[in-house]
Chain A
Amino acid sequence: MAPDPAPRAPACPDTDGPALPPAGGADRVADPLDFFRRRLEGERRVDEFGFDPELTDHALLPLMRLFYEHWFRIELRGLDNVPGSGRALLVANHSGVLPFDALMLQVALRDHHPAGRRLRMLVADLVLDLPLLSGLARRAGHTLASPDDAERLLRREELVGVFPEGFKGIGKPFAERYRLQRFGRGGYVATALRTRAPIVPCSIVGAEEIYPKVGELPALARLLGLPYFPVTPAFPLLGPLGLVPLPTRWIIEFGTPVGTAHLAAEAADDPAAIGAISDEVRGEIQRTLDRLVVERGDPFRD
């Protein structure tokens, strides 16, 4: 390994990708060139969901890594609560108008988890409907938030991420920051019970302030077929410039996994059992959020 002080050498046993090229002139040039040549020849593999590990590692994650390291300066906690192998369902709070939290979570687990885990996010059907975005989301390993897809991924021992709040969470006004919305109908718990996957609660602090949503334009949202059209102090006032997220400091904390193995699979059909687990997970995330917000203090402190 090259003596790289930054802890961003992902252990990636499942790719032949050049994680850290040795310090040799030819190799340093050849590796990205080789990557482009392979892409031009169509030499790559995607799985049945359209996930392209090579593109994700060499093009999408490096871009997101810039945000992760230099823009949001993310601090990770409790990473050992994410299992190193095998299935698990990561449940996180959703915020920030645009889903930067999902992308940062993906970078965090790939770069900083000892097993270099790939996170497979479940996303809304709207995302998979939009041109460009749908293709990119699929290549990055995201798929539709449906019980079928989630179950299939978990049975393949993947790490699946979900935001049970959905649009209500990501699109909530700035005044309601760090107040968790309703966790859907707890469908994610039923999936975890059926597949006996542990639920890892995850609290993300910092994404709330990247676009402080102070209002919305419902007519425009209806016209564009979007769930909301946000108004922030900078957008749409400053045009594209308003799309630059504010450089807040983030903390991502993974909580103690909520085991589901001790419960019978029949509990997946029991609304009371599902509700109880969902409340437990939601309460855990809310408590952690409250604690982290105080600990972090000023979001724009250096």
Chain B
Amino acid sequence: MGSTGRVVLVTGVSRQLGARVLTALEADPGVERVIGVDSVAPRFALGGAAFVRADPRDAGVAAVIEESGADTVLHMGLAASPPRAGGRRAARENHVLGAMQVLAGCQRSGTVRRLVVRSTAAIYGVPSGDPEPCTEEASAPDAPRFPRAGFARDAAEVERHVGGLMRRRPDLSVAVLRFANVIGPSVQTPLTSYFGLKIVPTVMGYDPTMQFIHEDDGVEVVRRMAMSGAARGVFNVAAPGAMPLSQCLRRAGRPEMPVPARGLSLVGGLTRRTGMHYSPDQLRSLCYGRVLDASKLRRELDWAPAYTSQEAFDAFVAESTYTTAASARIFGRVTHRVRAAVGR
């Protein structure tokens, strides 16, 4: 590319993943200039990238996209972590209005060629009677089982708007990334705070299968998606393998507290009080897991995540203060003695 390197605009850089994508692209030799945009000041180091503060509720973002002359826009504004203030309503405005502004900016801009939008696996909802690893075709945003509440609803609405843009501007190369739970040493999401609870409430009689993607792999996926123009459409982003929730809790050394399904909403209230925002959909996901089929991503990018789901989770556990479950420690001690006694 040489002198005419890419000009990349990244939104949502006040969040961890957005900031890391920004710095990764800055280091990329194929990129000439990187611009970070968010409605609040960045919490993470952005390196030498330019930062523009723009409120998603006015036309600021669209103007920034047009003026920057960016040829690639990465919309990372949609994230599960709740905003620091304002609650659900503010989050919804941020997600949907923010995305609409970004999309409008891309549509009007004469320079944008590539758009990558971060979405979420929550969009599939959590029905139990569905094929297990689900492909991108499993549910369209306007399918009847369309998620009803919270973050998943925002994501579905954003994806609908992206679909509209794709119809209006077929020349634009668009990729939508439906992320599994991002996890790793430094990520903070509602899920990581859930695993961080002293006693973790689970739904009695259910053990959902969880799937993760390591933060490093997540950043790498977005970077590769930004640089490649060929990969179009919707992609599931998930690490190979899966693990049951009970196994996650064992590995994190967290005692679990099974709660009957009827107490689920009560648990929801409790967890909200501890600073977590769990929508009914997310609570339902504690009953039935969602496993993605990410083979399309591997095929089209010709790349595979460096971490499996289990390795990603272990990386998260290793960096936290979690220890082996007390029960496992005690059991290990007892079996050691038994073995010594029998061996004698």
Q: Does A143 contact B (CB under 8 A)?
A: yes
Q: Does B209 contact A (CB under 8 A)?
A: yes
- The answer on a CB contact under 8 Å between A135 and B335 is no
Residues on B with beta carbons closer than 8 Å to the beta carbon of A130: 205
- The answer on a CB contact under 8 Å between B132 and A42 is no
A144 to B288, CA, bound (A): 13
Residues on A with beta carbons closer than 8 Å to the beta carbon of B247: 42, 44, 46
Q: Does A29 contact B (CB under 8 A)?
A: yes
- The answer on a CB contact under 8 Å between A37 and B328 is yes
Q: Which of A30, A41, A49 contacts B324 (CB 8 A)?
A: A41
Q: Does B241 contact A (CB under 8 A)?
A: yes
Residues on B with beta carbons closer than 8 Å to the beta carbon of A270: none
- The answer on a CB contact under 8 Å between B343 and A134 is no
Task: Report the stretch among A145-153, A173-181, A203-211, A256-264 that lies at the interface.
Answer: A145-153
Chain A residue with the shortest CB-CB distance to B134: A148
Q: Which of B130, B242, B246 contacts A48 (CB 8 A)?
A: B242
- The answer on a CB contact under 8 Å between A33 and B131 is no
Chain B residue with the shortest CB-CB distance to A25: B342
Q: Does B228 contact A (CB under 8 A)?
A: no
Q: How many chain B residues have a CB neighbour from A under 8 Å?
A: 42
- The answer on a CB contact under 8 Å between B338 and A131 is no
Q: Which of B128, B243, B249, B261 contacts A46 (CB 8 A)?
A: B243
- The answer on a CB contact under 8 Å between A42 and B131 is no
Q: Which of A39, A45, A135 contacts B241 (CB 8 A)?
A: A45
- The answer on a CB contact under 8 Å between A135 and B130 is no
Chain B residue with the shortest CB-CB distance to A34: B335
Fill in one digit per residue for B241-281: 1 if any A CB lies within 8 Å of its CB, else 0. 11110111111000000000100000000000000000000
Q: Which residues of A48-72 are within 8 A (CB) of B?
A: 48-50, 52
Residues on B with beta carbons closer than 8 Å to the beta carbon of A172: none
Q: Does B139 contact A (CB under 8 A)?
A: no
Residues on A with beta carbons closer than 8 Å to the beta carbon of B130: 144, 146
- The answer on a CB contact under 8 Å between A30 and B339 is yes
- The answer on a CB contact under 8 Å between B206 and A26 is no
Residues on A with beta carbons closer than 8 Å to the beta carbon of B328: 37, 40-41
- The answer on a CB contact under 8 Å between A41 and B250 is yes
Q: Which of A30, A40, A47, A139 contacts B325 (CB 8 A)?
A: A40
A interface with B by C-beta (< 8 Å): 25-26, 29-30, 33-34, 36-37, 39-42, 44-50, 52, 125, 128-132, 134-135, 138-139, 143-144, 146, 148-149, 152
21 A-B contacts (beta carbon < 8 Å): A25-B342, A25-B343, A37-B335, A39-B250, A40-B250, A40-B327, A41-B324, A41-B328, A42-B247, A44-B247, A46-B242, A46-B244, A48-B291, A49-B132, A50-B291, A129-B128, A131-B204, A131-B261, A138-B207, A143-B132, A144-B129
- Kindly list the 8 A-B residue pairs having the minimum CB-CB distance in the complex, ordered from nearest: A131-B205, A42-B250, A125-B129, A148-B131, A40-B328, A42-B251, A26-B343, A135-B207
